[in-house]
Structure 1
Amino acid sequence: MWAAYLTGPKVIEFREEAIPAPGPGELRIRLMEVGICGSDVHYFGGHRPLSGPTIIGHEGWGYIDAVGEGVQRVIGDRVVVDPNAPCGKCIYCERGQATVCPNKRTIGLNAPGCFAEYVLIPADFAHTLPESISAADAVTIEPTAVAFHALKHAFLQAGDTIYVLGLGAIGMLITHLAIRRGIIVYVGELNATLLEKAVSMGARTGDWQLADIRVAFECTGSAAATTALCADVPRGASIVLLGLSEKQASFTPLDLVRRGISIRGSLIYDHPEDFQSVIQMIADGQINPGQIISKYIPLADLEAGLIAASSVHPGKIVIQIQ
């Protein structure tokens, strides 16, 4: 098979290698499409160093091609990759916080990823897709699960008002899911194309500080944006951090305490329920996350796709494997 390895900052090397055989409890997926995630962009740019040459990519769907010992799955079934497998044994897993498991096996990070023709994953982490789900919706299920998880733990109701800062894939998907739930959404974004897309979904722009904001979702990955949100959100609001920044944000504890502001991070999703919920919502016609896709690129041009995703390209880029 052909696999694309990230061998250094902004260096993709294609290697032809043997198709891997699934071990006990694993299955092999013949991949069709894989979305480029913000984390892939960070790895590509060298901002989050990897331990060595790595096949990155984790937002994939395809067909079960082979199964390992003990796996009762149907070859040919259409599935989506759930790329984060927690250990199930640590204190965090035992108390229901598997999203922060320090030992999790993550496709595209510490296990071979999806920018290849085939990938191996634990059988329980391949979710069957109804035939009614389009390829565009299938390839955006993983980031939609991230957005779903963030909204789920914000405990919002129809009629509540939120602010979404940053309209990359996650911010746009939070906007889409929230609006479909009857939540009022204000958005902030510098890119006019992305802003217009969110408005077409039903989002609002304007002076959000005057609105009754319950929760602000920081999706830019900018420490400066986090600092600004801490100062600008109204009393009693919560800030949910989804963007990834290694720089330091700042706030005054006394100010946050007096204003009743809370801050928390939201990382990935609960397995398996968040993926299952998203798949069911798509199948039922409640959401269509594939609308965020703006460009398709063949695997051979992965490097160009990552460069585009690293720049100001508006929208989701998807790599076509087959």
Structure 2
Amino acid sequence: MLTARTVSRATLSYDEMPLPVLQPNHVLVRIHAVSLCGTDLHIYEDDFPTDLPIVQGHEMAGVVIAADPAAAVRPGDRVAVDPLVACGRCRACRRGRSNVCQHLSVLGCYEDGGFAEVLSVPAERVHAVPDGLSLEMAALGEPASISLQAVERSEARAGDVAVVLGCGPIGLLAILGLAERGATVIAADTDPARAALAEVFGAAAAFVVGEGFPDAAQRRLIDDATEAAGPDAIIEATGVPASLQNAIRMIGAGGRIIQVGISTQPAAIRIKDITDKEIDLRGSRNSRGMIPAGLAMLARHPEAASALLTHRFAFARLDEAFRTMADRAIPTGKIVILMPAAEEVPA
């Protein structure tokens, strides 16, 4: 089988490798589609705490070609792959928090992943793709699960007002999940096009963030929606320190702030702001088995899900896909790589 291995900074090597052998309690999946996220670009640019070389790709879907007899799936089934590899033994795992396992690994990030024609996966890590959802859309089941983990952490319910800061794919899918719960969602992004897209995903209003956010008009809208009490929940999906600072200023008393955007930068936070309003400030990482819920949500909202996919590249053009992703002059949502098993579609 053919694999694409990131061997050094921005350097790929296409290599023929032996097909994996079916192991007990595993399935073999012929990969059809892999979508890219920011982590993939960081790995490709050797700006991520993992060792090269590595076969990347952690957002993936394909077709089962062989399965352990005890597996719940059979050859021919369409599946999305959950890339998380948890030990199942550490304190976090024993408490049901496998998404923050002390020994966590992720296929395509810390060990070989989906940029291979066939992948061996533990049987419990594959999930059936709903009828009517294409495999390229099913590759978005993993990012959808990340968003739903943040929504779950927000404890949002019908009647709540929730703000989502950042309208990239994770933020947009979080908007969709919040709206399904019956929350009134207000979205914000520095990019006018992304902010406008938020309404397709169920936002009642979308702000373009500028200096002094929220401005007077935006503050009035938030006040009108919350009886001047502030939002019940805020999902911070940018990873920008100033955005978290804004969230702490905006949140209502007793509100929940969910930090799902990733950054290594420090944020200056005034402790008194947290205690005065008794804010719940929560991180959100990966997901706890929410890929089936993510796939179901994508299947319920095909138009919104389709709006996320802006570029498709054949496997042989993976370098070009990464360069496109890195070019800030090119607006991108999700980029999908079509593997040799899928019909090649020009970008």
Please indicate, yes or no, whether the TM-score normalized by the shorter chain is above 0.5: yes
Partner of 1:263: helix, strand, or coil? Answer: strand
Q: Give the total of aligned pairs.
A: 320
Distance in 2 between the 1:183 and 1:260 partners? 21
Tell me which residue corresponds to 2:238.
220
* Other-structure match for 1:95: 95
Q: 1:248 is matched with which residue: 266, 273, 283? A: 266
Give the counterpart of 1:239 among 252, 257, 262.
257
Worse overlay, 286-295 or 169-178: 286-295
CA distance in 1, matches of 2:149, 2:303: 15
Cα separation, 1, equivalents of 2:292 and 2:199? 28
Tell me which residue corresponds to 1:115: 115
Moved more, 229-238 or 18-27: 229-238
SS in structure 1 at match of 2:5: strand
In the other structure, the counterpart of 1:229 is: 247
Determine the structure 2 residue equivalent to 1:42: 42
- Once the two structures are overlaid, the 10-residue window that deviates more, 83-92 or 104-113, is 104-113
> How far is the alpha carbon of 1:21 from its aligned partner?
1.7
For residues 137-164 of structure 1, give each alpha carbon's deviation from its aligned partner in whole angstroms, at most 9, with x where no partner exists: 3121111111112112211112211111
Question: AA paired with 2:42?
Answer: H
Amino acid at match of 2:314: P
- Secondary structure of the equivalent of 1:270? coil
Residue-by-residue CA offset, 1:108-155 (whole Å, 9 max, x unaligned) = 123211122121111110112233323343121111111112112211
Unaligned runs of 5+ in 1: none
Separation in 2, partners of 1:26, 1:74: 11
2:311 pairs with one of 295, 301, 311: 295
Amino acid at match of 1:139: A
SS at match of 2:22: coil
Q: CA 1:103 to 1:189, structure 2 compared with 1: closer, same or farther past 3 Å?
A: same
SS in 2 for 1:60: strand
Partner amino acid, structure 1, of 2:189: E
Determine the structure 1 residue equivalent to 2:67: 67
Q: Give the whole-Å Cα distance in 1 for the aligned partners of 2:193 and 2:77.
A: 37
1:262 aligns with 2:280: yes
Q: CA RMSD in A?
A: 2.2
Contact 1:79 1:127 in 2 (8 A): yes
For 1:22, the aligned partner's letter is: L
Quick check: 105-114 or 126-135, which moved more?
A: 126-135
What letter corresponds to residue 259 of structure 1 in structure 2? K
CA gap of 1:176–1:80, structure 2 versus 1, over 3 A, is same
1:277 to 293, 296, 300: 293
Query: 1:281 Cα deviation (Å)?
Result: 4.1
Q: Show the counterpart of 1:320.
A: 338
Give the TM-score normalised by the residue count of structure 1.
Answer: 0.91
Instruction: Quote the Cα distance in structure 2 between the aligned partners of 1:84 and 1:205.
Output: 33
Q: 1:153 to 1:198 in 2, by over 3 A?
A: same
Cα shift at 1:230: 2.5
What is the aligned-residue identity percentage?
27
Matches of 2:177 and 2:305, distance apart in 1: 9
Measure, in 2, the Cα distance between the counterparts of 1:48 and 1:284. Answer: 34
Q: Is the 8 A contact 1:175 1:198 kept in 2?
A: yes
Amino acid at match of 2:251: V
Q: How does 1:18-33 map to 2 (within 5 A)?
A: 18-33=18-33
On the 8 A contact 2:156/2:181 being kept in 1, the answer is: no
Conserved 8 A contact 1:163-1:217: yes
Q: Does residue 156 of the first structure (1) align with residue 156 of the second (2)? A: yes
Deviates more, 1:78-87 or 1:10-19: 10-19
Deviation at 1:42, TM superposition (A): 2.1
Deviation at 1:70, TM superposition (A): 5.7
Q: Deviations over 1:198-240 (max 9, x none)?
A: 1233421241553531111111122332233233434332211
SS for the counterpart of 2:48 is: coil
Tell me how far 1:253 sits from its aligned partner: 1.0
**Residue type of the partner of 2:325?**
A
Provide the secondary structure at the position in 1 that maps to 2:232: strand
Distance 1:36 1:199, change over 3 A: same
Whole-Å separation in 2 of the counterparts to 1:7 and 1:153: 37
Letter in 2 for 1:293: L
Asked if the contact 1:241/1:266 (under 8 Å) is kept, the reply is yes
Cα distance, 1:69–1:225 mapped onto 2, change above 3 Å: same
1:33 counterpart letter in structure 2: A
Residues in 2 aligned to 1:252 and 1:97: alpha-carbon distance in whole angstroms: 29
The question of whether the paired residues in 1 share the 8 Å contact of 2:257 and 2:279 is answered with: yes
